[in-house]
Amino acid sequence: MAETVRKPSRQQQWRKRNPKSYLAHLTVENAKRLGLICRQPCAVCGDPKSDAHHPDYDRPLHVVWLCRKHHKQLHARGGK
């Protein structure tokens, strides 16, 4: 019986293309789980539903908390 080779998912492809970004995301998620950092409201509008934005992936725990809207706007401007 021939084995079928599965194509990597989009997420797996992104992880392979962006290892530093992926490790920074894992670091933040682990720090949140361990209680080392806590989610903060959006730095722009104060929305409590926020994502961690990494201005510098070499400093994975230095994040700016932004709501989805402002995070997308920042990246659309090419933002760091």
Closest C-alpha to 39, from 67, 72, 65, 74: 65
Domain-wise residue ranges, the chain? 10-76
**Residue 2 per-residue DSSP state:** P
The model's pTM = 0.80
Residue 80 is predicted with a pLDDT of 57
Residue 22 is predicted with a pLDDT of 96
Closest C-alpha to 52, from 34, 32, 33: 32
**Tens of pLDDT along 1-59?**
678 888 999 999 999 999 999 999 999 999 999 999 999 999 999 999 999 999 999 99
Residue 76 is predicted with a pLDDT of 92
Residue 77 is predicted with a pLDDT of 87
Residue 1 is predicted with a pLDDT of 62
Where do we find the tokens 């720090």?
A: 31
Q: What is the dihedral of CA 57, 62, 67, 69, to 10 degrees?
A: -40
